[in-house]
């Protein structure tokens, strides 16, 4: 589990009403990262510490966990700024320096490109001095709820209910779009 740290008090935490068991953000997943996501000027950010139980080599965060952090912050950036659930299509990850366990890190996501059916994001893991430790450029599809139902094996009405419950507090959330709108 991550020890979530709110380092910048001026950033506002985004409401999280996700009913599922997401490893990255669900408050209900006892084995998950439980990321708390904050609105930044041009995307989303999370300040967190990763526990040693998520290491690869002793003392260093496992690369798969770093990939999860990058994917999760990109997904939240899309949810908040385009008000849609998206599905990762492709991610290219670069690991530059070790990410150490039990040290506060910054996980940041931004939108690079947006079209009607797809989005491209960039996400970073940084240390507190701003050094980039890892980065991901990813492509996302914007599926209809029917496709989400098919992918998850759930009824469309159940997906709609979960989507509406999750999105309602976010839709009311005041923010500046990373693409210049409100």
In a domain, 172, yes or no: no
Give the CA diameter of the chain.
46
Number of domains making up the chain: 1
Which three-class secondary structure state does DSSP give residue 153? coil
In a domain, 175, yes or no: no
In a domain, 165, yes or no: no
Distance CA 108, CA 23 (A): 18
75-106 per-position pLDDT tens digit: 999 999 888 889 999 999 999 999 999 999 99
When comparing pLDDT for 182 and 11, which is higher? Answer: 11
Residue 126 contacts residue 105 (beta carbons within 8 Å): yes
Which pLDDT does position 2 carry in this prediction?
Answer: 52
Task: Report, as an integer, the average pLDDT of 14-42.
Answer: 85
CATH code: domain of residue 57: 3.10.129.10
What pTM did the predictor assign? Answer: 0.86
The H-or-E segment that residue 44 falls in is strand 43-50
Q: What's the domain range around 97?
A: 2-143
63-82 helix and 156-171 helix, angle to the nearest 10 degrees = 80
Which pLDDT does position 125 carry in this prediction?
Answer: 98
In a domain, 167, yes or no: no
């Amino acid at each position: 589990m991550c020890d979530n740290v709110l380092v910048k008090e001026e950033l506002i935490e985004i409401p999280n009403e996700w009913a599922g068991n997401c490893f990255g953000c669900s408050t209900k997943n006892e084995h998950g990262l439980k990321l708390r996501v904050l609105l930044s000027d041009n995307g989303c950010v999370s300040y967190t510490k990763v526990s040693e139980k998520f290491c690869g080599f002793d003392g260093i965060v496992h690369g798969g966990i770093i990939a999860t952090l990058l994917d999760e912050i990109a997904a939240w950036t899309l949810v908040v700024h385009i008000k849609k659930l998206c599905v990762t299509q492709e991610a290219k990850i670069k690991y530059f320096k070790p990410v150490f366990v039990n040290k506060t890190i910054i996980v940041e996501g931004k939108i690079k490109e947006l079209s009607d059916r797809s989005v491209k994001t960039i996400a970073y893991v940084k240390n507190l001095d701003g050094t980039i430790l890892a980065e991901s450029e990813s492509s996302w599809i914007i599926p209809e709820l029917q496709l989400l139902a098919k992918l998850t094996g759930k009824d469309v009405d159940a997906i709609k209910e979960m989507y509406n419950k999750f999105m309602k507090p976010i839709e009311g959330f005041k923010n500046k779009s990373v693409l210049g709108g409100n």
